[in-house]
Amino acid sequence: MIERVVGYHAAPIVCVHVSHLTKHSLFPPIFLCSPGVILNGIGKSCPLGHVGHENSRPNLRDLKRPTSGLVPLESAIGHVHPLSFTVEVSDRNRLALTNDIWTTSDSRAKRAYTTVSTQRRLHQQSFRVRVIQAYRKCCAICRLRHEELLDASHILPDGHPRGEPWVCNGLALCKLHHAAFDNNILGVRPDLIVEVRKDVLDESDGPMLQHGLKECHEKRLLVLPISEDLKPRPDFLEERYELFQSGR
């Protein structure tokens, strides 16, 4: 069984745990191979140590390409067909080797869970309610009215020294424009004009890019709070717009 993929070679290198050949060993060795590599017999393959010894660096000179007299991996492990591989990668997806191409085997994927400790912003829910109410349950950029698709976006981020949960530091945005705003795909100038990043304007794609983003360029915010005290503060917008320009 393949234990894991290691990155010491230009081609994908795989650690193979040949347990059925070492049934008398308390710690079966791990052998190194890669697609298309033929090992010079099990006895002369590239042992990396034992299971659990992950700091052993492979000797790449022991890796050999197919030449006469060498033993294919399939022959070396006793003509077991088909070979069964289990690979540990970053996302822990199962992989299958088919026609020399690594493909994800969805049918073998399994759900996995972990328990984590997180820090939750207690002010976020009330901030969302107050901002969306001030913008009359509309996206400030596109006027979308589906509240379940609206977010309260911070002009100055929550982690910023002045990123207070005030309505004047917020914009009611749909999820598309919220993500675009947070990732500096679009920015809002202090005069309330929306700008879209130039490289995005130069792209050619489907109707969502055209109508959802590019047509917002150089347009004024469509919805604002009625109260002057709740409208976006120009100094907040100016500082955030500078961040947008620096990230362009």
pLDDT, tens digit, for every residue of 182-221? Answer: 999 999 999 999 999 999 999 999 999 999 999 999 999 9
Tokens of 9: 């070679």
Query: 2-6 and 13-17: which strand pairing?
Result: antiparallel
Other CB atoms within 10 Å distance of the CB of residue 48 = 21
From residue 87, how far is each of 32, 38, 60, 121, 181 by CA, in Å? 13, 19, 20, 38, 39
What single-letter amino acid sits at 101? I
Beta-ladder partners of 72: none
Sort 231 into a burial class: Cβ within 10 Å, 0-12 / 13-18 / 19+. middle
Alpha-carbon gap, residue 240 to 162, rounded angstroms: 11
Q: Are 32 and 48 a contacting pair, CB within 8 Å?
A: yes
Long-range contacts of 89-94 (CB under 8 A, 24+ apart): 89/4, 89/5
Alpha-carbon gap, residue 168 to 190, rounded angstroms: 13
> What is the rounded average pLDDT of the residues 119-124?
81
Question: What tens digit of pLDDT does each residue of 129-170 get?
Answer: 999 999 999 999 999 999 999 999 999 998 899 989 999 999
Which residue, among 13, 155, 156, 20, has the nearest Cα to 87 in the 3D structure?
Answer: 13
Place of tokens 């017999």: 41
Please say if the pLDDT value at position 241 is more than 70.
yes
Other CB atoms within 10 Å distance of the CB of residue 120 = 7
* pTM reported for the whole predicted model: 0.56
Tokens of 221: 């915010």
Which residue, among 145, 150, 147, has the nearest Cα to 181 in the 3D structure?
Answer: 150
Please give the pLDDT value at position 198: 94
